[in-house]
Amino acid sequence: MEFVNPEGLRLDGRRPMEMRQLRAEIGVVSKADGSAVFEMGNTKVIAAVYGPREVQNRSQQSNDQALVRCEYSMANFSTGDRMRKPKGDRRSTEISMVIRQTMEACILTHLMPRSQIDIFVQVLQADGGTRSACINAATLALADAGIPMTDIVTSCSAGFLNGTPLLDLNYVEDSAGGPDVTVGILPKLDKVTLLQMDSKLQMETFETVMQLATEGCKAVASYIREVLLENTKQLESRRGV
Amino acid sequence: MRGLQLSLDKGQKLRFERAFEVLESLSSKANSDASVIVADDISVNNEDAILKGHGTAEMNDRLVATLCGVVERVNKLVYVRPLRARYKPEIGDIIIGRVIEVAPKRWKLEINFSQDAVLMLSSMNLPDGIQRRRTAVDELNMRSIFEENGVICAEVRGFQHDGCLHLQARSQKYGKLKRGQLLTIPPYLVKKRKQHFHHLDQYGIDLILGCNGFVWVGEHVDVRDDMVEDLSDKSEKQKVKSWNTLGDEEVEAYTPPDTRQNICRSANAVRVLSTLGFTITVEIITEIVELSKSMDLEVHEMLGAEFYVIVAENEAERRSLPTKRR
């Protein structure tokens, strides 16, 4: 299958290095401490953060740091073919763990001892790159909940099809079976917190693909920062003196 | 906007936006670019010695924010005041909490903090008002004082060495709250003041603005010392009871409809203000209640789209006034 046509356009009309449209909204769940919706093109994810709150399971309580929990789920209507997936299947447990580890890396857990932070992410529309969209949504929700973090984590995926590195794969490109590199970075510190890849890639091409994904992360970061700053300013101006 | 699902028509939308523009322009004059988000640099003069406060961290010899909020500077101290965050207790704060557990010698309260607060049986006045050692009998009768899911007003006593947050209720004004509504609002909207207990005489209601973002609106109760209530009064009461159609308990448990309406009106005022994200003080609440009364609105109409717009416009007007006077 041809994923990049001779004019250099992808199936959805993007250039190889082009990202899908981003959209983020903060404060979508009124009862949660923090919440956000994040869209990357047709992928749409909602995240809600509860906490820091009292630990539910006493045996998990730790006296020097907060417990971070994460639950990932996919809405039944999120994919084209409506499938009833059992809760806690392998895929969602794996992604839950990935998101938890990525977020734990940036949360200053030692500031909130004897408490737990719950992150719930649900995919409302799946069109490739759900993993990165979930991480971006979770970051926004955590920042909205006022949880101290060293930096915001942003994530983006990249692939390699038809001999060209492609940024931000959609569902069709994702299911082509080519390599899919998901990168999560801390943009300020310039550190990688997440790196996953399906299938194989040559050493030299991997470098370029990863570089591309990192650039994507930085673009996402600048967008997220913009949204957060606007939200903070708005809250402050409404509050007044 | 958070928690605000209104169907505004075109005119209302325009007025809404205009009001918020006014608010924005007012605040931007007051503090320019003090808002920071996670991982933003905080500009400090490196030659001065500074103290890093909450919400800041040092990274590669630079001071960065770890929260979204507003940078505050007090002499050498630099900290970030978070906006949307859970409550952070300070000693002496007046708070409202909900009992979630009755444990040995203590009640556990949910107070919108990262842990549950503890109210010890020994750190509260007994209902009979006598100062004495708490016995095992008292411990068994704890449920007669506060039950699960009861709403309580108390004061922050401090952190114990094991890290638990302890409360105290050593006055008649603290204790169980009855006959009213509990509202939860983001704590950053409640300003710390000298007074958190308010008695709105004209409506016959009590208003307690808990520092933790829990607001209580209820029927006014006279704070009286139970010990003063003499026993001779009781016998008289019994006489009255015999020829009163309403039983004594029934009279006590009865709230007049007017008061009920006033409770709901004030509660709705708090709801409107908190969804719009405005600071909540007694003055503003009474102003909104009066506004709704003068407009002849029913209690439920206060949550309609039109009233939200009016409150926003009112707030914009109110805030623009004092600056002109200066």
Residue B275 included in any domain? yes
Q: What is the CATH number of the domain that holds A123?
A: 3.30.230.70
Verify that B199 and B260 share a domain, yes or no.
Answer: yes
Distance CA B255, CA B208 (A): 18
The answer to whether residue A37 sits within a structural domain is yes
Q: What is the CATH classification number for the domain harbouring B124?
A: 2.40.50.140
Residue B3 contacts A where some CB pair is shorter than 8 Å: yes
Task: Tell me if A52 and B114 make a contact (CB, 8 A cut-off).
Answer: yes
Instruction: Name the B residues in 66-105 with CB < 8 Å from any A CB.
Output: 66-70, 82-86
B105 located within any domain: yes
ipTM attached to this prediction: 0.87
For B156, phi then psi, to 5°, come to: -75, 125
Q: Report if residue A28 sits inside a domain.
A: yes
Q: Note whether A145 contacts B: Cβ–Cβ < 8 A.
A: yes
Give yes or no for A218 touching B (CB within 8 A): no
User: With a CB-CB cutoff of 8 Å, which residues 5-24 of chain B face chain A?
Assistant: 20, 23-24
pLDDT in tens, B285-317: 999 999 999 999 999 889 888 899 999 999 888
Give yes or no for A205 touching B (CB within 8 A): no
Number of domains into which chain A is organized? 1
Residue B244 lies in a domain: no
Q: Kindly state whether B288 is in contact with chain A, defined as any CB-CB distance less than 8 angstroms.
A: no
**pLDDT of B132-176, one tens digit each?**
888 899 899 899 999 999 999 999 999 988 888 999 998 888 989
Do residue B35 and residue A34 have CB atoms under 8 angstroms apart? no
Say if A1 falls within a structural domain.
no
3-state secondary structure of B315: helix
Q: Check whether residue B45 and residue B93 sit in a common domain.
A: no
CA distance A159 to chain B (A): 29
- Report chain A's terminal Cα–Cα distance, integer Å: 61
pLDDT in tens, chain A (241 residues): 889 999 999 999 999 999 999 999 999 998 899 999 999 999 999 999 998 999 999 899 998 999 999 999 999 898 888 777 676 789 899 999 999 999 999 999 999 999 999 999 999 999 989 999 999 999 999 999 999 999 999 999 999 999 999 999 999 999 888 899 999 999 998 999 999 998 889 999 999 999 999 999 999 999 999 999 999 988 888 887 6
B307, burial (CB in 10 Å: exposed 0-12, middle 13-18, buried 19+): buried
Confirm if B21 and B28 have CB atoms less than 8 A apart: no
Domain span including residue B55:
32-84
Using the predicted structure, report yes or no on whether residue B276 has a pLDDT greater than 60: yes
Rounded to 5°, the CA angle B171-B175-B176 comes to 160
Task: Scan for tokens 């801390």, then name that residue.
Answer: A186
Name which of A47, A49, A4, A52 is nearest A25 in CA terms: A47
* DSSP labels, chain A: --SB-TTS-BTTS--TTPPPPEEEEE---TTSSEEEEEEETTEEEEEEEEEEEE-SSGGG--SSS-EEEEEEEE-GGGSSS---PPTT-HHHHHHHHHHHHHHHHHB-GGGSTTEEEEEEEEEEE-SS-HHHHHHHHHHHHHHHTT--BSS--EEEEEEEETTEEEES--HHHHTT-S-EEEEEEETTTTEEEEEEEES---HHHHHHHHHHHHHHHHHHHHHHHHHHHHHHHHHHHHH--
| A113 and chain B in contact, CB less than 8 A | yes
Contact (CB<8Å) A238/B319: no
Please report whether residue A9 resides in a domain: no
**How far apart (Å, rounded) are the C-alpha atoms in residues B107 and B32?**
45
Count of the separate structural domains present in chain B: 3
Tokens 């983006």 belong to residue = A156
Q: Which residues 67-106 of chain A have a CB within 8 Å of chain B?
A: none
Mark yes or no for CB contact A30/B2 under 8 Å.
Answer: yes
Which residue in the set B67, B110, B188 is minimally distant from A239, CB to CB?
B188
Beta B94-103 vs B151-159: how paired, if at all? antiparallel
A27 at the B interface (CB within 8 A)?
Answer: yes
Q: Pairing state of beta strands B69-74 and B117-124? A: unpaired
Nearest to B67 among A28, A63, A146 (CB): A146
CA distance to partner chain B, nearest, from residue A145 (Å): 5
A115 contacts B84? CB cut-off 8 A: no
How distant is the alpha carbon of residue B213 from its chain centre? 4
Q: Is residue A14 part of a domain?
A: no
Look at residue A157 and tell me if it is in a domain.
yes
B247, part of any domain: no
Q: Considering the domain boundaries, does residue B208 fall inside one?
A: yes
